[in-house]
Amino acid sequence: MTDFDDTLPAPDEFDIAPVRLTVDLGALADNWRDMVRRSGKARAAAVVKADAYGLGLEDCGTALYEAGARDFFVAVVQEGVTLRTYAPDARIFVLSGIWPGQESLFFEHDLVPVIASEEQLAFWMSLLAEGGDHPCALHVDTGFNRLGLPFADALALAKDVSRPASFSPVLVLSHLHSGDTPSSPLNKAQLDAFQEVSAAFDGIETSLSASAGIFLGPEYHFDLTRPGIALYGGESVNGMQPLRPVAKAEARILQIREAAAGSTVSYGATHQLSRRSRLAVVSVGYADGYLRALSGSGVPLRAGGTSGAYGYIDGHRVPIIGRVTMDLTIFDVTDVPERAVRAGDYIQLFGPDMPLAEVARAAGTIGYEMLTSLGLRYERRYIYPEE
């Protein structure tokens, strides 16, 4: 305890955070409405798995619910339990299905398991025999070879007159593996297979398309679409302009230092300066999900020999110099006027001025991974639609 405790005002944690994340919930809601429009006659759900793609399940789920979403998809049952508080009368589908020991969570919180295998189907049938009816969905594999009942088995199940009357899925779904590449002929092959599945389960709602599939056209929409990454401002179709940016990540400049031409920067001395430079040492690293593969040099695993990522400050794109480390990254701010950048300022890592997809490509990855890798140290600020 010091004499200062009673006199200093309490700081705004966001304003002093080493790394911070701004999430525009108005943009998120607008992106969902955009996907509703693009879904045509189909309803649009909202996929909020992985903590709403790293941006916060509670706040993002609430914003989407208030925007009108009434169908949600999560990956695991614990996410569904959390979301139920913020989406009281929504249908919440759990994509990983149900396993023994999870029954009370599904029933108590009115969650809909997505049955994805013969084992889950047998277990679900036994639950219905003991406890009566409860809604479920059925996942059918149409060529992904990931989750889903095999195509032939699903058709046989649809025609099985001996299946319990209590087993009546509220939704049959599948997933496109190449929807982000519209020219792929495999999209049409999966569409044809799913149309056959849809016909076999006549009278039950069907869903094939996540974000990318929605852009393939009305024939891919069926009854319900499942937009995910597009809601959060990520690139869902290769080379297509994303919707409104939702997330802005920033990191504080801890020090600006002068470095002589010919000197080296960061671990491994992988970058040698060709000129006298001003370097901004910034409080972000791979512990914050700012991937080591974004480094300006010294990352042999990155394919293609790309030069690394950029940040953005005061109207200038500034390159990463040398390797990204656990807690620190170094940017070259030599070309930014001295008066325009100083210690304590923030560099934008991705956001409205530094597209998420571009940063992800610099790391040889996708926006999904960038968002879902955000670390725990980000101080978050949510901008609500009315603000």
Q: Which residue numbers are catalytic?
A: 49, 267
Q: Would the annotation count 38 as a binding residue?
A: no
Q: Tokens for 60, please give them.
A: 């993002």
| Cα dihedral sign, 204-174-182-363 | positive
Alpha-carbon radius of gyration of the chain: 24
Measure the CA–CA gap between 357 and 180, rounded to whole angstroms: 13
Angle between helices 185-200 and 151-159 (to 10 degrees): 20
Q: Would the annotation count 317 as a binding residue?
A: no
What region does 207 belong to: left with phi over 0, alpha with psi -120 to 50, or beta? Answer: beta
Q: Are 78 and 95 in contact (CB under 8 A)?
A: no
Q: Are 318 and 347 in contact (CB under 8 A)?
A: yes
Q: Are 200 and 154 in contact (CB under 8 A)?
A: yes
Q: Are 88 and 76 in contact (CB under 8 A)?
A: no
Phi, psi dihedral angles at 295 (to 5 degrees): -50, 150
Query: Annotated binding site for substrate: which residue ranges?
Result: 146, 326
Query: Annotated binding site: which residue ranges?
Result: 146, 326
